[in-house]
Amino acid sequence: MPERIVVVGSAQGLHARPARIFVQEAARQPVPVLISAGGKAPVPAASILAVLALGAGHGAEVTLSAEGEHAERALDELAELVARDLDAEEPGGAGAG
Protein backbone atom coordinates (compact mmCIF):
# COMPACT_ATOMS: atom_id res chain seq x y z
CA MET A 1 0.00 0.00 0.00
CA PRO A 2 1.55 3.33 -1.02
CA GLU A 3 2.19 5.76 1.82
CA ARG A 4 3.38 9.32 2.39
CA ILE A 5 4.75 10.59 5.70
CA VAL A 6 4.16 14.34 5.95
CA VAL A 7 4.81 17.00 8.56
CA VAL A 8 1.72 19.13 9.27
CA GLY A 9 2.46 22.67 8.11
CA SER A 10 -0.58 24.54 9.39
CA ALA A 11 0.14 26.69 12.43
CA GLN A 12 -2.88 25.26 14.26
CA GLY A 13 -2.38 21.71 12.98
CA LEU A 14 -5.19 19.72 11.37
CA HIS A 15 -7.93 21.54 13.26
CA ALA A 16 -10.89 23.68 12.17
CA ARG A 17 -10.30 25.24 8.75
CA PRO A 18 -7.18 23.22 7.75
CA ALA A 19 -8.94 19.96 8.66
CA ARG A 20 -12.02 20.97 6.67
CA ILE A 21 -9.92 21.79 3.59
CA PHE A 22 -7.99 18.52 3.89
CA VAL A 23 -11.13 16.41 4.38
CA GLN A 24 -12.86 18.02 1.39
CA GLU A 25 -9.88 17.27 -0.83
CA ALA A 26 -9.62 13.71 0.50
CA ALA A 27 -13.30 13.15 -0.30
CA ARG A 28 -12.69 14.28 -3.90
CA GLN A 29 -10.01 11.66 -4.51
CA PRO A 30 -10.83 8.67 -6.72
CA VAL A 31 -9.59 6.24 -4.04
CA PRO A 32 -10.24 5.99 -0.30
CA VAL A 33 -7.40 7.56 1.69
CA LEU A 34 -6.45 6.77 5.29
CA ILE A 35 -4.57 9.05 7.69
CA SER A 36 -2.84 8.23 10.97
CA ALA A 37 -0.81 10.18 13.51
CA GLY A 38 0.77 9.68 16.90
CA GLY A 39 0.62 5.90 16.78
CA LYS A 40 -3.16 5.91 16.43
CA ALA A 41 -4.90 3.53 14.04
CA PRO A 42 -5.51 4.85 10.51
CA VAL A 43 -8.85 6.59 9.98
CA PRO A 44 -10.71 7.67 6.83
CA ALA A 45 -9.23 10.96 5.60
CA ALA A 46 -12.66 11.98 4.30
CA SER A 47 -14.13 12.03 7.84
CA ILE A 48 -13.86 15.39 9.62
CA LEU A 49 -14.54 13.84 13.03
CA ALA A 50 -11.91 11.16 12.52
CA VAL A 51 -9.28 13.66 11.32
CA LEU A 52 -9.97 16.03 14.23
CA ALA A 53 -9.76 13.11 16.69
CA LEU A 54 -6.17 12.44 15.59
CA GLY A 55 -5.13 15.67 17.28
CA ALA A 56 -2.35 16.27 14.73
CA GLY A 57 -0.80 19.60 15.70
CA HIS A 58 1.71 21.79 13.88
CA GLY A 59 4.87 19.82 13.15
CA ALA A 60 3.27 16.43 13.78
CA GLU A 61 4.04 13.62 11.37
CA VAL A 62 1.03 12.05 9.72
CA THR A 63 0.95 9.02 7.47
CA LEU A 64 -1.32 9.00 4.43
CA SER A 65 -2.07 5.71 2.70
CA ALA A 66 -4.29 4.53 -0.14
CA GLU A 67 -4.76 1.64 -2.53
CA GLY A 68 -5.95 1.61 -6.08
CA GLU A 69 -5.15 2.78 -9.57
CA HIS A 70 -4.81 6.47 -8.66
CA ALA A 71 -3.41 6.08 -5.13
CA GLU A 72 0.00 7.61 -5.87
CA ARG A 73 -1.48 10.77 -7.40
CA ALA A 74 -4.03 11.12 -4.60
CA LEU A 75 -1.34 10.77 -1.94
CA ASP A 76 0.92 13.29 -3.68
CA GLU A 77 -1.88 15.88 -3.81
CA LEU A 78 -2.93 15.37 -0.20
CA ALA A 79 0.65 15.29 1.10
CA GLU A 80 1.32 18.65 -0.55
CA LEU A 81 -1.81 20.05 1.06
CA VAL A 82 -0.95 18.81 4.57
CA ALA A 83 2.56 20.28 4.31
CA ARG A 84 1.24 23.80 3.55
CA ASP A 85 0.24 26.35 6.19
CA LEU A 86 -3.48 26.39 5.37
CA ASP A 87 -4.09 28.83 8.24
CA ALA A 88 -2.04 31.47 6.44
CA GLU A 89 -3.75 31.12 3.05
CA GLU A 90 -6.62 33.24 1.82
CA PRO A 91 -10.05 31.55 1.94
CA GLY A 92 -10.74 29.79 -1.34
CA GLY A 93 -7.02 29.56 -2.12
CA ALA A 94 -6.66 25.85 -1.44
CA GLY A 95 -8.46 23.59 -3.84
CA ALA A 96 -9.92 26.51 -5.78
CA GLY A 97 -10.25 26.08 -9.46
3-state SS track over 6-59: EECCCCCCCCHHHHHHHHHHHHHCCCCEEEEECCCCCEECCCHHHHHHHCCCCC
State yes or no: is 70 an active-site residue.
no
* 65 vs 27: CA distance, rounded Å: 14
Options 4, 15, 46, 56, the catalytic residue: 15
Cα–Cα distance, 28 to 56 (Å, whole number): 21
Catalytic residue set: 15
